[in-house]
Amino acid sequence: MSRKEQKMAKFSIMLFGIDSYTKNKMRLPYKLDAKSSDAALREARMCAMTFYPRFRETEKPDVEVVRR
């Protein structure tokens, strides 16, 4: 399959970490459309850095395909 023929899939991603200021545990859920799980994970991390600059990832993220 060529790159143009690849279809978007819907991914459910949960990032686990802490707020670096308060040290509270955080879970950030995202539902994203992307061509691959790596692309969806990159986008989720970008959103987390943009909207929660004090968020620090501490555990492996949970990535699940919702729909192909």
Task: Delimit the domains of the chain by residue range.
Answer: 3-67
What's the predicted TM-score (pTM) here? 0.82
pLDDT value of position 2: 53
Asked if the 3-67 domain carries CATH number 3.40.50, the reply is no
* Rounded Cα–Cα distance for residues 63 and 28 (Å): 12
* Rounded Cα–Cα distance for residues 29 and 48 (Å): 10
Low-confidence ranges of the chain (pLDDT < 70): 1-6, 68
pLDDT value of position 5: 56
Contact 15/48 with Cβ under 8 angstroms?
A: yes
